[in-house]
Amino acid sequence: MKICLLLPVACCLLPVACCLLPVACCLLPVACCLLPVACCLLPVAFCLLPFACCLLPFALIGNVRQ
């Protein structure tokens, strides 16, 4: 049962790692100039998308238990 729960978590953490990469790249131009901030927020928006997909299996598991 725990293995089934850990699988979505592992899948969830992978996009998070990919997500942090653009954020690091994003902070570099911000130090130089505030103009790239708009371009910087775009990958962050795409970064939050996998979180929603990640929480979905847990929400479904919660509904099944109720």
C-alpha dihedral sign at 17, 18, 22, 23: negative
3-class SS letters over 37-62: HHHHHHHHHHHHHHHHHHHHHHHHHH
Report the pLDDT value the prediction gives residue 51, as an integer from 0 to 100. Answer: 75
Report the pLDDT value the prediction gives residue 54, as an integer from 0 to 100. Answer: 74
Mean pLDDT of 49-53: 73
Report the pLDDT value the prediction gives residue 30, as an integer from 0 to 100. Answer: 59
> Which of 29, 31, 54 minimizes the C-alpha distance to 40?
29
Evaluate if residue 1 carries a pLDDT over 70. Answer: no
pLDDT band at 31 (very low <50, low <70, confident <90, very high): low
Report the pLDDT value the prediction gives residue 26, as an integer from 0 to 100. Answer: 64
Above pLDDT 70, what percent of the chain? 42
How many degrees, rounded to 5, is the angle at CA 46 between CA 38 and CA 12? 145
